Structure 1
Amino acid sequence: MLKKVFKALCIFIMVNLLLIQVPTAFAATSVVLSGVPSYNQNNTGYPYYYYTCGPTAGANILSYWDSMGYIRLWTPTSRKDSKTGVSLIKDLAVHMESKSGEGTLPANFSKIIFHTYDCGYSFGSYLYEKRNSDGSINLTEDQMWGDIKTEINEGRPCALYIGKYPTPVPSGLNSNYNFHWVTIYGYTEDGTQRKLNICTGLNPIGTESGSRDEIVFSTYYTNVPDLDVACLKPMR
Structure 2
Amino acid sequence: MLEKEKEALARRIAGEITLSSDPGKTMRKWREIFGISQTELAEHLGVSSSVISDYEGGRRKSPGAGTIKKFVEALLKIDEERGGSVIKAFSRTIGVELPTSAILDIREFSIPIKISQLLDAVNGEIVANEDMIDREIYGYTVVDSIRAILEMSSEEFLKLYGWTTERALVFTKVSTGRSPMVAVRVQGLKPAVIVLHGVKKLDELAVKLAQRERIPLIVSKIENESELINNLRKLVERTEKEV
Q: TM-score range by the shorter chain?
A: under 0.3
Highest Rg: 1 or 2?
1
Q: Larger relative CO (CA 8 A, sep 6+): 1 or 2?
A: 1
More helix by share: 2
